[in-house]
Amino acid sequence: MAARRTAPGPDRRVSALLDELRALGSEKDRAGMARYGIEVRNAFGVSVYVLRGLARRLGTDHALAAALWETGNHEARLLACFVDDPARIGVRQLEAWVRDLDSWDLCDQAATSLFDATRHAWPKAVEWAGRDAQWVKRAGFALMAGLAVHDRIAADAAFLALLAPIERGALDDRNYVKKAVSWALRNIGKRNPALNAAAVACAERIRAAANRRAGGERGGDAGARSARWVASDVLRELQSEKVRGRLARRRAGN
């Protein structure tokens, strides 16, 4: 009687996948990643588009995702975000993974491709946005941005509750944080006309707070300049004809 064949365990599959990722990478792409501010000390230089294709081939696999993350390799961790099962992710894993974040692209993909689909996404968005560590804080605002796009059933009130932490976060002068703050507020403002008006009002409050802090409409400390930048970035998009027209057409279609 022939021996029963079993699928290789996660460890054996990870070894094979690392070999595959290494072969797919290139120094040219790795250098390109570095130019965009991506951490490449433990990266092969594989594009996220290639990784998403590989994830489709692998399918959802919680155990494999955990093993891929443990390698510490940049692409393996991105791949882990694409194959993990959000229904099986608990607070302990979220906290462990968010502490491991070391690059804006990994932070954003983890937040908007995985974390925002977990049952803990809403409380973690607010909690992380209130912490000080750069990548944890960015993850909080990236989570808000992801929820604004992917949570189709959340009520407007849930997003209105995010405006206070967004206003506080706008004063953070770290580039990777302030850009995520703007991203979160812009995505909220693109959901519907009511949230557009609320997000625009929030941006105007942020600008007013920056000017009060600076004692005028120019200059001020780094926090005031950051908040003023966030406000301008948000208002530029949310008050644009493109966004307003899209929201009007959506409202007319309803």
Kindly indicate the confidence band of residue 1, based on its pLDDT and cuts at 50, 70 and 90.
very low
Do residues 164 and 70 share a domain? no
Do residues 136 and 190 share a domain? yes
- Residue ranges making up the domain that contains 252: 108-254
Burial class (CB within 10 angstroms; exposed 0-12, middle 13-18, buried 19+) of 219: exposed
Q: Is pLDDT above 80 for 14?
A: yes
Do residues 19 and 57 share a domain? yes
Do residues 136 and 182 share a domain? yes
Do residues 134 and 244 share a domain? yes
Residue 164 domain-assigned?
A: yes
Do residues 115 and 236 share a domain? yes
Residue 241 domain-assigned?
A: yes
Write down the pLDDT at residue 251.
Answer: 80
DSSP codes of every residue in 184-200: HHHHHHTS-HHHHHHHH
Percent of the chain with pLDDT over 70: 96
Residue 102 domain-assigned?
A: no
Q: How would you classify residue 133: left for phi > 0, otherwise alpha for psi between -120 and 50, otherwise beta?
A: beta
Write down the pLDDT at residue 250.
Answer: 82
Do residues 151 and 194 share a domain? yes
pLDDT tens track for 101-130: 999 999 999 999 999 999 999 999 999 999
Using CA atoms, how far apart are residues 199 and 209, in angstroms rounded to an integer? 15
Q: Is pLDDT above 80 for 4?
A: no
Do residues 76 and 150 share a domain? no
Using CA atoms, how far apart are residues 91 and 121, in angstroms rounded to an integer? 10
Do residues 197 and 252 share a domain? yes
Residue 98 domain-assigned?
A: no
Residue 91 domain-assigned?
A: no
Residue 2 domain-assigned?
A: no
Write down the pLDDT at residue 9.
Answer: 61
Using CA atoms, how far apart are residues 156 and 92, in angstroms rounded to an integer? 29
Whole-angstrom CA distances from 32 to 39, 143, 180 are 11, 26, 22
Using CA atoms, how far apart are residues 187 and 209, in angstroms rounded to an integer? 22
pLDDT tens track for 18-71: 999 999 999 999 999 999 999 999 999 999 999 999 999 999 999 999 999 999
Burial class (CB within 10 angstroms; exposed 0-12, middle 13-18, buried 19+) of 84: buried
Q: How would you classify residue 63: left for phi > 0, otherwise alpha for psi between -120 and 50, otherwise beta?
A: alpha
**Domain count of the chain?**
2
Do residues 79 and 149 share a domain? no
What CATH code is carried by the domain that includes residue 117? 1.25.40
Do residues 171 and 214 share a domain? yes
